Chain A
Amino acid sequence: MKNRMENFKYNISEALELPKDVVLDLPKITMIGNIQLNISNHKGIVEYTQEILRINSSIGIIKVTGNSMELKTILSEEIIVKGNIEKIEIYS
């Protein structure tokens, strides 16, 4: 039932060219080079150290690996990470 609903939403957003992160409630991950990472529509931080950052989201846990990472901003809808980013993994 839920799967059908998701499919329907996907088709609608395809047909009407609506942004999928809004319609499907997906996180939007934007990277600027390897020095900055913006994650909007997140669901909270699970772990934060200078080397590892794990963020909860609707598609699972996003794991960002790097060094000397710093959280520039945390808002309820967006996280901005600054530092040397090396790897992004998604554990769904």
Chain B
Amino acid sequence: MEVIKAWNFLKGYVIIKVEGLTLERFLNLAATRDIYLWDINRIGHTILEMKVTIEGFRALKEIVKRVGCRVEIIDKRGLPFIIYRLKHRKMLAFGFLLFLGIIIFLSSLIWNIEIIGNERVKTEDIMKILEKEDIKNGIIKYKIDKDYTKHLLLNEFDTFSFLSVEIKGTKLIIEVKEQDLPPEKIHTDTPCNIVAAKKGVIVKAIARNGKALVRKGDVVKKGQILITGLISDEYSEEQILVHADGEVLAKTVYNYRIDEPIVKAVKEETGRVYERRELKIGQKGVQFFKGEIPYADYIEEVKEVKFFDMDMDLPIKILIHQFKEVEKKEIKQNIDFLKQSTHIKAIEELNKQLPQNAQIESKDVKHYIKGGILSTYATLEVIEDIGEKIIINID
């Protein structure tokens, strides 16, 4: 029935009052002529009130003549009448159009540029490049050539392995993935030295080009020249500069230490929660207090109330601060178990530090207990290539 009501509203209808003596005849005649009448109500002895469509009302005129009753329009309803009335209120229509125009205009601007995923390259640097291309807050979003911007940024920064430019509503989202920075390639014609990147004991030094200055068993410091590209002849003064190349394998040591108290203070939630609400408009916030926090020890958690269950970034936020009461407890941990867990943790940490092609020579883990603290020392001896090419400056 709602559908019919909506349809009638769109088509427009009138509420009429019919006054006469033989109103049943009026209804029957209307029914036989397929004039749709609805919500007929008798409001007086000789008066009926009913609703009829606009076309129906026109067709009723003939019946009215035949039956001999009086018809009076009480109300006109529906879209056609609203439009008719609006025609006489030009300023309102103008205001409505203006409003629509402003909405469309404002939603076609870029209000926010978000750059996700950059770690080494600074956001400001990317912004600067974008600004040069006239991409900044407040421009019309249809002007942005996404493919062009993408290629521009990829060309500008070689560290990006992946880049996507996306416009979501009024937000420009640039998502980047940085690849590991490749070591700076030095052209094979450029003279260079190979120096130690870290300290270590030389295991093997193979010079493919240039002259090795270190031998097996030498202890080298960071920055020491291992293979030189400067070859001098005993018999002549002349020095030849070459592009030094080769492998220098050295034994290096990695250390890691973890201190872990044997008696550990653990915070346990008691289940009691105290809430505070905060209204945040932009950067400014107002907290609503209901007295002091009634717990001595607590953890604070902040949650955001989502409006309409949508993923929107609104400038107005309602935050709920939850204060969870905690009880501090001291737990004495099993030493053997603790040793094992710190051992694993230390090795894991060391593995993260190791370069990719390193070979582990030996592993050593020691535990000391002193003043209720378990210290774990992990030492890894590793054989790796410590050579690093550095251009010789000819001055």
A49 proximal to B (CB < 8 A): yes
Contact B41 A70 (CB under 8 A): yes
Contact A45 B37 (CB under 8 A): no
Contact A72 B39 (CB under 8 A): yes
Q: Which B residues, 145 to 189, have Cβ-Cβ distances below 8 Å to chain A?
A: none
Contacts of A72 in B (CB 8 A): 38-40
Q: How far is the CA of A48 from the CA of B24 in the complex (A)?
A: 7
Contact B32 A74 (CB under 8 A): no
Contact B27 A74 (CB under 8 A): yes
Q: Which of A46, A70, A75, A76 contacts B24 (CB 8 A)?
A: A46
Contact with B along A48-82 (1 / 0, CB 8 A): 11100000000000000000001111111000000
Q: Which of A44, A74, A76 contacts B40 (CB 8 A)?
A: A74
Contact with A along B27-56 (1 / 0, CB 8 A): 110111010111111100000101000000
Q: A45-B24, A48-B23, A48-B24 are in contact. Are A71 and B31 (CB under 8 A)?
A: no
Q: A49-B42, A70-B39 are in contact. Are A76 and B27 (CB under 8 A)?
A: no
Q: How far is the CA of A48 from the CA of B38 in the complex (A)?
A: 14
Contacts of B39 in A (CB 8 A): 70-72
Q: How far is the CA of A69 from the CA of B34 in the complex (A)?
A: 22
Q: How far is the CA of A70 from the CA of B41 in the complex (A)?
A: 5
Contact B42 A74 (CB under 8 A): no
> 22 A-B residue contacts at CB 8 Å?
A44-B28, A45-B28, A47-B24, A48-B23, A48-B27, A48-B42, A48-B48, A49-B42, A50-B42, A71-B37, A71-B38, A71-B39, A71-B41, A72-B38, A74-B27, A74-B30, A74-B38, A75-B31, A75-B34, A75-B36, A76-B31, A76-B34
Beyond A44-B28, A48-B27, A73-B36, list 18 extra A-B contacts (CB 8 Å): A44-B31, A48-B23, A48-B42, A48-B48, A70-B39, A70-B40, A71-B27, A71-B37, A71-B38, A71-B39, A71-B41, A72-B39, A72-B40, A73-B38, A74-B30, A74-B31, A74-B38, A74-B40
